Amino acid sequence: MDKIILVRYEEIFLKGLNKHVFENRLIKNIKQKLDDLGSVRITKSQSRIYIESDDADFDFDEAIIRLTKIFGIASISPVVRIKSDYDEIRKTSLDIVGDLIERKSYKTFKVESKRGDKSFPMSSPRICADLGGYILSKFPRLKVDVHNPDFILYVEVRENTYLYSEIIPSVKGLPTGTGGLATLLLSGGIDSPVAGWMIAKRGVEIEAVYFHSYPYTSDRAKDKVIKLSEILSEYCMGIKLHIVPFTEIQTSINEKCPHEYITIIMRRFMMRIAERIARKSGSLALVTGEAIGQVASQTMESMLVTNNAVTLPVYRPLIGMDKNEVIEIAKRIGTFDTSILPYEDCCTVFVAKHPVIKPSLQKTLEYEKPLDSEKLINDALSRTEVIKL
């Protein structure tokens, strides 16, 4: 009897001839994530991945937690693998059911069976009926409930037989590294970490850019963004965070531009700098946490003016979402508690009382003229700090 982990994937099935590229990348990512837990053997068979370890003290629980954060994995089951021999299936089933009843006080169950190996002498319905009856005879207080059981004992007869009762959902998506690199404008807020996560879910590697306005925004605000990058990096197989000093740019804009336009001009500078960083890293897009109408700088008119500052595409995965929907995802992925820590945000430091809601591009370009944009941008880039998480 071997204790192993079964990993299922979904969307990779649709990949036709490229399927192996996605599978191999997923296996590579799994290896990297579990590397420090001890020796692991990862095998692929019939569009599933099996993970096992010879180390007696291999931490299966920790491995499972990590697997729920690997893009490309649809679900995970801790499984017991035995020979495809009916006596052994009966015996092992009793052990599993006995353990579940004791640990979880389950009262109802059903058996579900799949027979991949057609040379096995019993059909799936017969396995279910016979094994169910056998389990009932040994645990008389247990009852069968085919509609809403407390647990399901899954029996899969393949080249070996796999028994399990748990199907743990993972994050789905596509394996990190199969979709190129994108540059996320990461603030300390709720939205941008979720936006980055959503793009990363599609197999895209993420680098992050944070604009820091010291001393208007404190080191605690910076630490918060580092923490958010750390949380994201657990999903993204590592993140490079660029911390760009933004104070000089903000003070210049504040001094030289009409007040109602300072936010939109500031956002254009963020885009330009992020684009320079992106081009250098070979990144194919910028990503922000904007949603239509959330604030003045996120009206369609404002975003038109923001986009005009760059030529790389700007992806805004939250564009049609309500705040509550974003919060729900932030909670699920674990960024919410950090995002709501009450530290300053650079956008709230220099903020117009009446920001323009429908900025004109022509006016924006006019108002930017007194700024020495090239110098401001190059200065900020030359003092940018890079942290690898």
What does the binding site for ligand ATP look like in residue numbers (CB under 6 A)? 185-187, 189-192, 209-211, 270, 288-290, 294-295, 297-298, 346-347
Which among 301, 296, 274 is positioned nearest to 285, based on CA atoms?
274
CB of 261 to ligand ATP, least distance (A): 15
Contact with Mg ion (CB under 5 A) among 72, 189, 203, 359 = 189
In the bound complex, what is the minimum distance in angstroms from residue 182's beta carbon to ligand ATP?
A: 12
288 binds, among ligand ATP, Mg ion, none (CB under 5 to 8 A by kind): ligand ATP
Q: Could you say which DSSP state residue 369 is in? A: T
Q: What is the token pair recorded at 127?
A: 């396995």
Q: Which is nearer to Mg ion, 72 or 289 (CB)?
A: 289
Complex with Mg ion: residue 223 or 345, whichever CB lies closer: 345
In three-state secondary structure terms, 333 is: helix
Q: Which of 114, 106, 113, 149 is nearest to 129 (CA)?
A: 113
**Shorter beta-carbon distance to ligand ATP: residue 186 or 237:** 186
- In whole angstroms, how close is the CB of 174 to ligand ATP at the nearest point? 22
Among 176, 187, 335, 364, binds Mg ion (CB under 5 A): 187
239 in Cβ contact with 232 (< 8 Å): yes
How far apart are alpha carbons 159 and 220 in whole angstroms?
Answer: 55
Both ends of the chain: CA-CA distance in Å?
39
Contact criterion met (CB below 8 Å) for 104 and 120? no
* Identity of the amino acid at 233: S
Among ligand ATP, Mg ion, none, what binds residue 294 when CB lies within 5 to 8 Å by partner kind?
ligand ATP
Q: Nearest distance from residue 255's CB to ligand ATP, in Å?
A: 20
Output 146 or 295, the one with its CB closest to Mg ion.
Answer: 295
Q: What's the closest the beta carbon of residue 220 comes to ligand ATP, in angstroms?
A: 14
Q: Which does 205 bind (CB under 5 to 8 A by kind): Mg ion, ligand ATP, none?
A: none
Q: Which residues contact 128 (CB under 8 A, 6 or more apart)?
A: 110, 111, 112, 113, 155
Which residue, 165 or 297, is less far from ligand ATP as judged by CB? 297
Indicate the residue among 26 and 253 with the shorter CB distance to ligand ATP: 253
State in angstroms the smallest separation of the CB of 238 from Mg ion. Answer: 24
217 in Cβ contact with 247 (< 8 Å): no
CA distance to 42, 63, 257, 282, 349, per residue, from 70 (Å): 15, 11, 45, 23, 37
**Does 263 engage in binding with Mg ion (CB under 5 A)?**
no
Q: State yes or no: cis peptide before 313, omega within 30 of 0.
A: no
Strand order through the sheet with 181-185: 314-315, 286-287, 181-185, 205-212, 240-245, 385-388
Task: Kindly write out the interface string for residues 342-361 of this chain, putting x where it contacts Mg ion by CB under 5 A and - elsewhere.
Answer: ---x----------------
**Alpha carbon 50 to chain centroid, angstroms:** 22
**Mask for 318-347, x = binds Mg ion (CB under 5 A):** ---------------------------x--
Binding site for Mg ion (CB under 5 A): 187, 189, 345
